[in-house]
Amino acid sequence: MQNIVSVSHLQKSFKTNQVLKDVSFTIPEGSIFALLGSNGAGKTTTVKILSTLSCADGGEATICGYNVATQGGHVRNCISLTGQFAAVDEVLTGRENLKLIAQLKRLPNAKAIAHQWLSLFNLEDAADRQVSTYSGGMRRRLDIAMSLMGNPKVLFLDEPTTGLDPQNRIAMWDMIKGLVAKGTTVFLTTQYLEEAEYLADNIAILHEGRIIAQGTASQLKEKMPERGMNLNFASEKAAAHAMKLLEQNDIAVDCVTQNLPSLEDVFLTLIGEKESEDNA
């Protein structure tokens, strides 16, 4: 697949604090990319630079073939951003929020478009209620619906499920999967490792301003040196005698599965190893 986002040696400092030291990665079109990192690792700073809300001090980034630093207008035409907190007007109704965004984007027939997005995000029953009465999950769905108006090619989701209960979080995951199935490329930042493992095609771990590991969830797990095996035997008798008699009696194994570490194990190990290297 063609890369729709390309980031090379990105750097950013705030006074004496160098938040991004050397960040590089690519994102194939039509995929979900997850950027993992602890609080303060630079995830939101990276998103702000790529969405043209902030300028990098060094390095280069392109989105849809446009340079983020010098062609910001073109970049903004093909992206959308949903931040950590829902950017909705609580005084307006859900329908009015959507109509406002449609008008700001100069989309034809704003009323019909608003109705369409209310239906897609299961907000029809609450369409004419003030957003101040919405639950956190409903506000998040409305926020993403507003972000998707105009069909952006790349959607930035900065910790989209923060503050949601487990049921709404799972519903949000399914929604994100559905967006990608329709062709949207998603850049996701999250602190929930199970979220990245469930959603992302590729994952990068950001630590102290650098990408210290990247790949699929399986590839990252393969980096862990200690792994085991689960053996499922055809009978209890075979299991009881397996360790001693497996080779001698040619006992059939029903299946063998590799016992890989969790993504959390990988994350904590890589962060710990990096900190140990830096201290040394």
Q: DSSP for 215-277?
A: E-HHHHHTT-S--EEEEEESSHHHHHHHHHHHHHHTPPEEEEEEEPPPHHHHHHHHHHHHHHH
pLDDT value at 261 more than 90? no
pLDDT value at 213 more than 80? yes
Least confident interval from 38-47, 189-198, 264-273: 264-273
Least confident interval from 46-50, 130-134, 173-177, 231-235: 231-235
CA distance 77 to 70: 14
What are the pLDDT digits (tens) for 22-34?
999 999 999 999 9
- What is the pTM assigned to this prediction? 0.76
94: which residues sit within 8 A by CB, 6+ positions away?
118, 123, 126, 127, 128, 129, 131, 134, 138, 142
Closest CA to 163 of 190, 194, 185: 190
Average per-residue pLDDT in the chain?
85
For residue 188, CA distances in Å to 6, 33, 75, 161, 202 come to 15, 6, 18, 10, 10
- The pLDDT-based confidence of 47 (bands split at 50, 70, 90) is very high
For 10, the enclosing helix (H) or strand (E) is strand 3-14
First to last CA, the chain: 40
- The pLDDT-based confidence of 226 (bands split at 50, 70, 90) is low
pLDDT of residue 162: 76
Complete edge-to-edge strand list for the sheet that includes strand 154-158: 66-67, 58-63, 3-14, 17-28, 210-215, 202-207, 32-36, 185-190, 154-158, 79-82
pLDDT value at 212 more than 60? yes
List domains and CATH numbers for the chain: 3-223 (3.40.50.300), 228-259 (no CATH)
